[in-house]
Amino acid sequence: MVLTAVIILILVALDRAAKIVAEGLLVGKGAVEFIPNILGFRLLENGNTGAAFGLFSGGTVVLSVVTFIVVALLLYVLFFKKFSSKLLRAAVILITAGGIGNLYDRIVYGAVTDFLEFRFMSFPIFNVADCFVTIGCGLMLLYILISPKNEPVFVKETEATDTDKEKNNDEQL
């Protein structure tokens, strides 16, 4: 359990650090080319008040409430259930960290800080937390595709002490 919490905190800190650096380097500078014609940095001046692809623009309160509920449920699952798969657990950790990163922005700033821009195709500007959520969803899809059809998502815990449960949860990573 402790390892899971530390990993989530590190991922959220990486997201925050990337957003702080991007804001410091990009405010008032427009777009900055990183890898020509592939990847650039462009800070959305007023932040993203919606979700991906401009959905729910201006829906900060609703998105914050929904994100809070989803993150709370994922944290419950991470800390009180034992996953049958390390891959699935890693996916849920990434999705949780990304959700926390963007939820923090919505609560503190009223919008999410987006700054990463693909130049080789038309794609919304995004951030590190979005990458965590996307990679987590990809891992979850991979789990669905490769796991045995009847494999349970969680394993039933036997009567174990709290120390044993914490050790087992940390060993899953």
Q: List the domain boundaries for the chain.
A: 2-171
Catalytic site residues? 114, 130
Is residue 161 scored above 50 in pLDDT? no
Q: Give the Cα separation of 141 and 154 in Å (integer).
A: 17
Let me know: does 6 contact 171? Beta carbons within 8 Å.
no
Report the pLDDT value the prediction gives residue 54, as an integer from 0 to 100: 66
Q: Give the Cα separation of 56 and 115 in Å (integer).
A: 19
Task: Look at residues 119, 133, 105 and name the one whose alpha carbon lies nearest to residue 40.
Answer: 119
In angstroms, the first-to-last Cα distance of the chain is 10
The alpha helices in the chain, defined as continuous H runs, are: 2-26, 60-80, 86-109, 128-146, 162-171
Helix axes 162-171, 2-26, angle to 10 degrees: 50
pTM: 0.84
Better-scored residue on pLDDT, 159 or 149: 149
DSSP of 50-78, one letter per residue?
S-GGGTTTT-HHHHHHHHHHHHHHHHHHH
Report the pLDDT value the prediction gives residue 127, as an integer from 0 to 100: 93
Q: Where does the pLDDT of residue 159 fall: very low under 50, low under 70, confident under 90, or very high at 90 and above?
A: very low
Report the pLDDT value the prediction gives residue 173, as an integer from 0 to 100: 62
- Residue-wise pLDDT for 42-101, tens only, equals 887 667 777 776 677 777 889 999 999 999 999 999 999 998 899 999 999 999 999 999
Maximum alpha-carbon separation in the chain: 59
Sheet of strand 39-42: strand arrangement: 31-35, 39-42, 116-118
| Interval 34-45 mean pLDDT | 83
- Residue-wise pLDDT for 5-18, tens only, equals 999 999 999 999 99
